[in-house]
Amino acid sequence: MTHRPVISGTGLFTPEESITNEELVASFNAFVDRHNAEHADAIAAGEAEALTYSSVEFIEKASGIKARHVMSKAPILAPDTMSPRWEERPDGELSIMAEIGVIAAREALAKAGREAKDVDAVLCAASNMQRAYPAMAIEIQQALGIDGFGFDMNVACSSATFGIQTAADYVRAGNAKSVLVVSPEITSGHLNWRDRDSHFIFGDVATAVLVEDAAIAPAAHWDILGTKLKTVFSNNIRNNFGFLNRATPETAGTADKLFVQEGRKVFKEVVPMVAQMILDEAERLQIDPKTLRRMWLHQANSGMNRLIAQKVLGHEASDDESPTVLDTYGNTSSAGSIIAFHLHSEDMKADDTGLICSFGAGYSAGTVFVRKAA
Ligand code: COA
């Protein structure tokens, strides 16, 4: 008996608080003023470089980002902290990453009309895990009341599509009928809010995708036509935070223990790689890329998406063909393409074909071609 994987529901948790570019730049520039005043002598003596202002115009033009949601706004904007802050929770309480994952997961289950007890597995697929163990996925599994198994997986910005293929493979192999892929992305914790080159990039969110065997899926679902993954090693997006940092305590707090990138190189190298990957996979699946009704692309940069969509569709994509959520969500790492899919798929008609596609650190890229069933 063959098992066909489908997407039967998606869910989204959006933090209430949001930071506009204006607020972000005002906070950053206040930090710059303060830093330069504190180091005025060293700067005047040529021993230190003055920091430079950030700009709202640059951010919007270079990235398309206008605002980002965050879990903890005031401490991020306060020049003294410039990072999120909340009370550490006792071990007996649901952890913050699991909490937002559970909210997104519940929505995905509700959309599919699925009871948690009928789910077989939970994959927590995200760029950063809150702790080493026990796995976030197992905590989410327990909070939802799922009898099965769960594990964490991290493929940076491509975690969700890698999670979807993994879930689809469980279904294809007959090892599971219903698998939740949950992507809680609290990116504000690994973003260097004091770095002009990157302080505007990320936002917080959680998404969930329920991948199921067509045999048990609700009538309104998305057939998964094919999935494809690719990785190519690159240091151009890197974060050296890890459990071995304590072996070199003298560098444990340096900037490379947060997100760092060579943005220009990433842009130049990833766009052709992803466009070609999409075209090759479309050919393998015998889908004419020009017939794609919609592309839900990774949400890192509007310019990257414009170029990729153009190469795939053969013309400049409209917002309808390649919707963006960058303006309000910023880059939410692995969750970006799933937010776009969640928010911009209700209007699709039966037999419409679309593409969920992610790309980012690793480098890593994943494609999920889908077709609306009903
Ligand atoms: N405000 C004002 N000016 C800024 C600035 C800021 N916040 N940050 C950088 N600049 C300046 C630079 O100093 C540089 O000035 P110069 O030309 O005088 O040297 C100029 O703007 C261009 O900087 P650059 O870093 O080359 O900008 P960019 O056009 O490449 O845009 C990104 C930066 C990050 C938006 C862009 O490279 C990008 O999106 N890359 C894709 C990768 C990505 O987002 N990955 C995330 C993980 S998937």
Q: Which atom of ligand 1 is nearest to the CA of 303?
A: 39
Confidence of residue 7 (pLDDT cuts 50, 70, 90): very high
Examine the pLDDT at 229 and tell me if it is beyond 90: yes
Tokens of 106: 């519940």
Cβ of residue 29 lying under 6 Å from some atom of ligand 1: no
Which pLDDT does position 1 carry in this prediction?
73
Q: Which pLDDT belongs to residue 374?
A: 82
Distance 317 CA to ligand 1 centre (A): 24
pLDDT band at 248 (very low <50, low <70, confident <90, very high): very high
Q: Is 82 in the pocket of ligand 1 (CB under 6 A)?
A: no
Q: How far is the CA of 177 from the centre of ligand 1 (A)?
A: 44
Between the CA of 296 and the centroid of ligand 1 the distance, in Å, is 24
Q: Which of 197, 238, 298 to mutate to test the pocket of ligand 1 (most atoms within 8 A of CB)?
A: 197
Q: How confident is the model at residue 67 (pLDDT cuts 50, 70, 90)?
A: very high
Does ligand 1 come within 6 angstroms of the Cβ of 237?
yes
The answer to whether the CB of 63 is under 6 A from ligand 1 is: yes
**What percentage of the chain carries pLDDT values higher than 90?**
99
Arithmetic mean of pLDDT, 64-71 = 97
- What's the whole-number average pLDDT of the chain? 97
Is 263 touching ligand 1 by the criterion CB < 6 Å? Answer: yes
How are beta strands 260-261 and 237-238 bridged, if at all? antiparallel
Counting atoms of ligand 1 from 1, which one is nearest the CA of 360? 48
Q: How many CB atoms lie within 10 A of CB 294?
A: 24
pLDDT band at 45 (very low <50, low <70, confident <90, very high): very high
Pair 335, 277: CB distance under 8 Å: no
Ligand 1 site, residue 157, Cβ cutoff 6 A: yes
Question: Of all protein residues, whose CA lies closest to atom 46 belonging to ligand 1?
Answer: 300
Q: Judge if the beta carbon of residue 151 lies within 6 A of ligand 1.
A: no
Mutate which of 28, 51, 58, 297 for ligand 1? The one with the most ligand atoms within 8 Å of its CB, which is 58
Whole-number Å distance, alpha carbon 371 to ligand 1 midpoint, is 36
Hey, whose CA ends up nearest to atom 24 of ligand 1?
Answer: 264
User: Is the CB of 266 within 6 Å of ligand 1?
Assistant: yes
Please tell me the predicted confidence (pLDDT) of residue 189. 97
Q: How far apart are CA 133 and CA 360, in angstroms?
A: 25
Q: Torsion over CA of 333, 337, 342 and 345, rounded to 10 degrees?
A: 170
Dist. CA 55 → ligand 1 center (Å): 11
pLDDT at 209: 98
Which amino acids are annotated catalytic? 157
Mutation choice for ligand 1 from 159, 267, 299, CB with most ligand atoms inside 8 A: 267
What's the mean pLDDT in 67-89? 97
Cross-strand partners of 69: 18
DSSP structural state of residue 363: T
Is the pLDDT confidence value at 69 over 90?
yes
Kindly state the DSSP code that residue 331 receives in the 8-state scheme: B
Q: Would you say residue 100 has pLDDT above 90?
A: yes
- Which residue pairs, CB below 8 angstroms and at least 24 apart, start in 115-119? 116/144, 116/145, 116/146, 117/145, 117/146, 117/147, 118/178, 118/216, 119/144, 119/146, 119/148, 119/178, 119/179, 119/180, 119/210
Report the pLDDT averaged over residues 332-357: 97
Query: Which of ligand 1's atoms lies nearest the C-alpha of 301?
Result: 39
Among 65, 301, 304, 363, the mutation site with the greatest number of ligand 1 atoms within 8 A of its Cβ is: 301
User: What is the chain's Cα-based Rg?
Assistant: 21
CB 225 within 8 A of CB 242: no
Q: Residue 360: CB within 6 Å of ligand 1?
A: yes
pTM of the shown model: 0.97
